[in-house]
Amino acid sequence: MMRPYQQELFNEICSGRAKRAVAVWNRRAGKDIVGASITSVMAMQKPGNYWHLFPTYQQARKAVWEAIDIDGNRIINKLF
């Protein structure tokens, strides 16, 4: 379940009303979750190669593979 500000960005991009967006949110606001969710929806609509980049491998591992939400569930399990 997304927070209201996350849902607003998700809806704008996935509906096609916005082509690009900049999310200036604080730490732990869910930028990676929304980005990965949008990417997964877009990949289903138009197959292709999609990238989700991080500055370092360690940051990617912590943000996606090892991250847990407030309920203690792994975030990667929610995306796929």
Inter-axis angle of helices 4-15 and 31-45, to 10 degrees?
A: 20
Instruction: Report the chain's terminal Cα–Cα distance, integer Å.
Output: 14
Overall pTM surpassing 0.75 (yes/no):
no
Digit-coded pLDDT (tens) for 2-16: 889 999 999 999 998
Identify the pLDDT of residue 59: 86
Residue 13, SS3 per DSSP: helix
CA distance 1 to 48: 26
Residue 79: closest CA among 55, 71, 56, 69:
69
